[in-house]
Structure 1
């Protein structure tokens, strides 16, 4: 794409904004054959999806931007969980209205390149996100003055977009070669990755691969791998109880001391100091206005006290007590007196025992946290959109889609969106259904929640500020690759740490029993595939949901070779009916969508000679029941798949 030519044409054109929308769709809620009424910018705010625009197919992720012209047909198929995106509809035309109709038509034809398709990955997505969010909010005001402001913001957005594209090193989307390299690195960063091994995989020389990485990513392959490993290490330091040595080993560094030196060089502090400072990794790499530590843009040093004063620590050998003092609040005189009193008592009663001292400090923290509130105890919780005072033990929790995570810990939310209540295995009980996206704020407020937990995708349907006026609100990632990590996070939020550990321990016992049963009838050499048939599409699923997490992660069954290479290690998801036999292994989990019966019947003959169909090892599963991967759903899914395999292989 010639960006300079695009810039010239934008300077000649006039623009009329027709609409600005924000949507959230979940896996299974495909948008098909949508004929666009105008030119469109599509910006992904969170999630992944396969997007098809006419003959163009692309896999889009958070912060990707797609442009296409009026009349294009668009399909959007969410890849995992919720997919959140903005659509800006606009019309471009030549401003000269004094010429004849024929001349005017010719003049508008000069603007045809402004209708072209392109898919780009901006290097500074936070800039574009802020502009698009501002556009959406201003457009929603509907008054005439706001429309003028919207036009101004749109031109600012166009300026920032082409400024980034013109000055970026990669000129948009990375090449296929580099995309393959990045996919491999992200899947195998825990293992030893040599440059020769990576070059062999890509089918090029080491020197050419280095030049390509530098040109498109702005970093060497080694620097990129190190960035990913250290990013993962920083997350483990903040979200797990693993030792530094264990974290080093799990992120590809068998030498703990070498790991510590690299970590300090990258972050400016040692791993232990990093953990003690309690920096919120989500606020740094998930906030759209801040770049990821392992993004393709070189990152600057982290600022550990940005927006807050230094955290004061009162620590003992086995744990620490923290007094969080932000630049928005000041300690009261009572709080300071309590601190002094605690120190005095500790000094006078040094021989009263460690347990007594710890109790006094815990009581002190509770007093300071509750000071000025007088009703409930609170704690400061850092999340994607900042930090929020939330109840230590919330009683009335509202969540958009994370119902199963709450109920696994014994917390029944007062309300949620329709999606988790109508999909999977959640029994509604007394949970209020507040509808689909965007959430009805008045209905949410009527539930009188004391805590609101939102995912990134659903947060934008109303905006963080609107939700936080109802109750303390925290924003979490749409999806976690690890059920363990996610449940630990919810245990921390809800004050249910013991419950999360107990649930995970029981679940692991259940998994171990199921594995033993399956192992007795399935050999290690036998392979598995998951096929989803929809009315117009076919999909091969990975190890996230639709039973993939059950068979590949928990039961440890072997994916078919091409599934492993193209789907788990690549970005293949949608396939044509003709190539499906290449992906079908010895066993097949089959999920037919409602309305796809005829499609399956018409194409089944193409797959009749595969091992799974020949040996009658095809297991039909309910698409809706296997969409979610929350703890409640996973328990049921494990039982269903285990029973299907055992029944068919006795």
Structure 2
């Protein structure tokens, strides 16, 4: 991000304290928070202990500061001595009149969870006590002062933390990778990619190769070749059409590039593809994976965030604490014994496969699972995510518990579910069918969307999220289907979405908008969504398609994702 724009983000941002509380964790005691409703600064002093935040643990001692962003989960446990703490909840808000992206980068300090051992613990603790004292005196000037003190404390912590990190530079590799994934069908150059990352060409090439094991332009080529082989395998598009749709103006240059990548020319690849197994690749293009099966004499061995699980027999009563896992089981022809749902008043299962969950017990929500209901269910396997780390020990006492990253590729998870349930062949077939379908739909959409762009937006309170290709649904649209992303999304951001004010929405300049609506979940359209619909509807050159956020955002299983493909085809090919 340009230095001038970054400075503007700070100067146009105010910090508002929401709550301050102090307490003590005795030896052997635990302080636990799940799904924080706001960002929180946890300041502690005293003995040693352990801190697990968002599934990652570390040992803490003497004094530390923990910055946990909204939605985080953490557990602080004391060992031999008391740990005294102050927890300050706050939110960062744009000042009146500010109409810009609010901290788009995932690694921005106020959007990043981190643990820092301060070099001046006594001063930090006294400052925390002073904020607590000001806050306890009630509304008025004292709480105004508490806000000012908190802002100063955040400044000191961020500066000290960044000095300890050797200076924070933008996550340039993920910035560029996310951009490439949404625009690899367009003409790209190294200078353009380096400018997005805010660095030189050589620096970008070096860093990109360190993290991705190939250069940025090689990454572009790999994505283009994966798209081309899917079209060759599953469509009857000509070689010239495929070349054009994957970013090549010259059919002969494309053919040479394809042969160099796969070892055979595209015509021969197409002739032999019918008898060859499908080439399966993760939709994100990223190589890292936190969960995968290994063979063993007794059965598949599943590695997960908390260890290993040996599959000696297919589990019969599975409890899932994320709706996406119920979707995976449904796709494999099974139903979980229990699953979390969604909603604020009455809880529900997703409408698109609700009928398959008639016998499934409701286990609360993803953010607030009903642990007593899980215990009553008596499952023989529990599947959860890193957000449920504070409950892991209790869950493990009920049944063997597997913990996956919530944002893991659905294809990876489906393969694992195939291993768990003995339905590996069915899982592979579902993935192959998805690759075939996206290739066909991508070829059909290409001429319709020539010269046009598609945005994925979600109104939230007083802001609008504009999702990037780093978002899982964004990856389906921009990577798997090859929909052209608006130039606005090309701005450097490694996060899953930009947060912008409603009046900034025209700057997106998309031709089509998929609007993620919470109407079903909150039983009505919010004021922000009304404003967005009115603003976009006034421009006849733009088309808006409201879609159910519960399906497009919450249900990342193969059934839900195929529903997304249905709605994309219905909207753009009507």
TM-score bucket (shorter structure): 0.5 to 0.7
Counterparts of 1:159-198 in structure 2 under 5 Å? Answer: 167-170=164-167, 174-175=168-169, 178-180=170-172, 182-185=174-177, 188=180
The aligned residue for residue 246 of structure 2 is none
CA distance in 1, matches of 2:165, 2:406: 29
The aligned residue for residue 268 of structure 1 is none
- Give the match's secondary structure for 2:573: helix
The aligned residue for residue 388 of structure 1 is 309
CA shift at 1:529, angstroms? 1.5
Alignment TM-score, normalising by the size of structure 2: 0.56
CA shift at 1:432, angstroms? 0.8
- Give the match's secondary structure for 1:392: coil
CA distance in 2, matches of 1:281, 1:620: 33
The aligned residue for residue 244 of structure 2 is none
Deviations 1:563-602 (A, max 9, x none): 3x13776665211223211213222223344354544544
Matched, 1:43 2:68: yes
- Give the match's secondary structure for 2:34: strand
Matched, 1:228 2:220: no
CA distance in 2, matches of 1:445, 1:23: 19
Matched, 1:622 2:543: no
The aligned residue for residue 422 of structure 1 is 349
The aligned residue for residue 330 of structure 2 is 407
Matched, 1:472 2:400: yes
**Structure 1 residue corresponding to 2:129, chosen from 92, 99, 102:** 92
- Give the match's secondary structure for 1:434: strand
The aligned residue for residue 35 of structure 2 is 24
Judged with a 3 Å threshold, the aligned counterparts in structure 2 of structure 1 residues 567 and 538 are, in CA distance, closer, same or farther, namely farther
Deviations 1:18-75 (A, max 9, x none): 89542237xxxxx58x999999954259879xx95244954557972399xxxxxxxx
CA distance in 1, matches of 2:154, 2:131: 22
Give the aligned length. Answer: 402
The aligned residue for residue 341 of structure 1 is none
Counterparts of 1:48-87 in structure 2 under 5 Å? Answer: 52-55=91-94, 57-58=102-103, 60=106, 64-65=113-114
Is the contact made by 1:535 and 1:596 (CA closer than 8 Å) also made in structure 2? Answer: no
CA shift at 1:187, angstroms? 5.2
The aligned residue for residue 152 of structure 2 is 116
Counterparts of 1:466-615 in structure 2 under 5 Å? Answer: 466-480=394-408, 482-515=409-442, 517-519=444-446, 522-543=448-469, 548-563=474-489, 565-566=490-491, 573-594=498-519, 595-596=524-525, 598-602=527-531, 606-607=535-536, 610=539, 613-614=540-541
Judged with a 3 Å threshold, the aligned counterparts in structure 2 of structure 1 residues 187 and 598 are, in CA distance, closer, same or farther, namely closer
Is the contact made by 1:417 and 1:433 (CA closer than 8 Å) also made in structure 2? Answer: yes
Deviations 1:338-391 (A, max 9, x none): xxxxxxxxxxxxxxxxxxxxxxxxxxx3xxx4xxxxxxxx65432111123344
CA distance in 1, matches of 2:547, 2:318: 32
Matched, 1:457 2:387: yes
Is the contact made by 2:175 and 2:492 (CA closer than 8 Å) also made in structure 1? Answer: no
Judged with a 3 Å threshold, the aligned counterparts in structure 2 of structure 1 residues 452 and 390 are, in CA distance, closer, same or farther, namely farther
Is the contact made by 2:196 and 2:492 (CA closer than 8 Å) also made in structure 1? Answer: no
Is the contact made by 1:534 and 1:592 (CA closer than 8 Å) also made in structure 2? Answer: no
Is the contact made by 2:321 and 2:363 (CA closer than 8 Å) also made in structure 1? Answer: no
Greater RCO (Cα-Cα under 8 Å, separation 6 or more):
2
Alignment TM-score, normalising by the size of structure 1: 0.51
CA distance in 1, matches of 2:465, 2:205: 34
Judged with a 3 Å threshold, the aligned counterparts in structure 2 of structure 1 residues 645 and 599 are, in CA distance, closer, same or farther, namely same
- Give the match's secondary structure for 1:417: strand
Is the contact made by 2:319 and 2:337 (CA closer than 8 Å) also made in structure 1? Answer: yes
- Give the match's secondary structure for 2:342: helix
Is the contact made by 2:178 and 2:468 (CA closer than 8 Å) also made in structure 1? Answer: no
- Give the match's secondary structure for 2:327: helix
Structure 2: gaps of 5 or more residues: 1-20, 26-30, 45-64, 74-89, 96-101, 117-124, 216-228, 230-256, 264-286
Deviations 1:200-255 (A, max 9, x none): 5556666xx86xxxxxxxxxx555323322499xxxxxxxxxxxxx9xxx9xx979
CA shift at 1:643, angstroms? 1.6
Judged with a 3 Å threshold, the aligned counterparts in structure 2 of structure 1 residues 548 and 111 are, in CA distance, closer, same or farther, namely closer
Is the contact made by 2:173 and 2:211 (CA closer than 8 Å) also made in structure 1? Answer: no
CA distance in 2, matches of 1:379, 1:632: 25
Root-mean-square deviation (CA, aligned residues, Å) is 5.1
Deviations 1:390-420 (A, max 9, x none): 4432221111111111221223111111239
Judged with a 3 Å threshold, the aligned counterparts in structure 2 of structure 1 residues 166 and 379 are, in CA distance, closer, same or farther, namely same
Judged with a 3 Å threshold, the aligned counterparts in structure 2 of structure 1 residues 540 and 203 are, in CA distance, closer, same or farther, namely closer
